[in-house]
Amino acid sequence: MPTNSPYPPTTTQSAATETAHSMIGKVALVRTDDRATGVRRALDLLGTRPTQGKHVFLKPNYNSADPAPGSTHPDVLRAMTEWLWDSGAETITVGDRAGMGNTRQVMQSVGTFEMADELGFDTVVFDELGPEGWVTHEADHWGRGFAIARPVARAESVVQACCLKTHRFGGHFTLSLKNSVGMVAKQIPGDGYNYMTELHRSGHQRRMIAEVNAAYSPDLVVIDGVEAFTTGGPDRGTTVNAQVVLAGSDRVALDAVGVALLRYYGTTREVRSGPIFEQEQIARAVEIGLGVSGPENIEFITDDPESSAYVELLQPILLDG
C-alpha cells in the first residue's frame, strides 16, 4: 500500500464505529506460553474470517523497540500475518507511529522490514506521511480534533496486535483502545500543532484515548498476554508470566478482560480502583457505543480445560471489580 494519496486532507465528524453484532462481547481466551500457537488458536476459536478477500491494515504496538510486552513480539506479528494470508487476505500492510523513538528505527530494530520481505506484506511509517496522508476527525474532548493515518482510514479491514500492560504516563493501561493512539498524528507536516502534547497534558486523556477509536472499527484484535507489565509501562515495568492470548473484535470487552488480568496479578492503584467498567477509557468507549455495555455481557470462548479454568478465575474480578 503506498504511503502517499492523491486525495486532499479530509475532515469528518467521528461517530461510533460499531463492532459487528455477532462479535459483540466475544473474547477468545487461550492459556499458553507459546505466542504463535496461542494467536492461531485464539483467532480460530472466533470462527470467522472477516478479512477474507480484503486489503488489510495490521496495527502492531511499536511504541518503542523494547522487547515484549514493551512492543509486539515478532512471533505474534508472524503468526497473525500468516493466519491472515491463510484466511484469504488480498493484501496486508503493517504500520505504526512510535511514541518513544523514531518509528523507522523501531520497526528496523524489531525486524519488521525483514519479515515483510519474507512474508510478502507491505509496510508504512506514519511519521513519513505527508499532509495528504492524514484524515482529521472532530471529537468532544480534543480541542482541534485528531488526525488518523489515511492508510488506516481507507483500509477495507483493520486488525490490531496489542500487548498487555500498564501505562505510567496517564493512560493507566495500554490494551486495544490505547493501541489506537499510534494511528494518530503527533504533528501533520506543515502544521505546528502537536496532538500528542495536547493528549498528554489533558485531564481528559483517557476519554480522548477512547474517542480515537470511534474513527474506525477493527475486524480482529489480538492481545498478547504471555508476558505482561503490571506496573510501569509502556516500555518497561514489572513483568509477570500471564500465559494468555486474547482475541476478538469488541475493544471494550477485550480491554475489560485485560484489566481483570492486570488486577489478578496485582497492579497499580489506578488500574485496580473501582469497577472495571468505570475505568475512564472503558466508560467513555461504552458511552460512544464501541462495544459491550457491561461485564455480564462478555462471552468467553475456550478450547481446553486450562483456559476454561483461567476464565473462572477472571469472571469474579470482572463482575465484582
Residue 271 has what pLDDT?
98
Among the listed residues 48, 51, 107, 111, the one whose alpha carbon sits nearest the alpha carbon of residue 82: 51
Residue 4 has what pLDDT?
34
Q: Which residues contact 310 (CB under 8 A, 6 or more apart)?
A: 29, 31, 244, 302
- Mean pLDDT computed over 160-176: 96
Q: Per the structure block, which three cell numbers stand in for 306? A: 486450562
- Mean pLDDT computed over 28-39: 98
- pLDDT tens-digit map of 3-15: 333 323 444 443 4
Q: Taking a C-beta distance cutoff of 8 angstroms, is the pair 223, 245 a contact?
A: yes
Residue 18 has what pLDDT?
53
Q: What percent of the chain stands above pLDDT 70?
A: 93
In the chain, the amino acid numbered 308 is S
DSSP state of 128: G
Chain mean pLDDT for the chain: 93
Residue 11 has what pLDDT?
44
pTM of the predicted model as reported, rounded to 2 decimal places: 0.93
CA gap 162, 179 in Å, rounded: 7
Domains of the chain: 10-320 (3.40.50.11440)
Write out the H or E segment, with its range, that includes residue 59: strand 55-59
CA gap 267, 210 in Å, rounded: 21
pLDDT at 286 over 80: yes
- pLDDT tens-digit map of 110-159: 999 999 999 999 999 999 999 999 999 999 999 999 999 999 999 999 99
Q: Coil, helix or strand for 31?
A: strand
Residue 7 has what pLDDT?
29
* Cα atoms found within 13 Å of the Cα of residue 287, Cβ hemisphere only: 12
> Confidence band (pLDDT; 50, 70, 90) for 320?
confident
Q: Where are the alpha helices (DSSP H) in the chain?
A: 35-45, 74-86, 103-109, 112-119, 150-153, 176-179, 195-201, 205-212, 251-265, 269-272, 280-287, 305-320
Helix, strand, coil tally for the chain in percent (to 5):
40, 25, 35
Q: Which residues contact 117 (CB under 8 A, 6 or more apart)?
A: none
Length of the chain in residues, anyone? 321
DSSP 226-240: EEEEEEE-SSSEEEE
- Mean pLDDT computed over 31-60: 98
Residue 22 has what pLDDT?
81
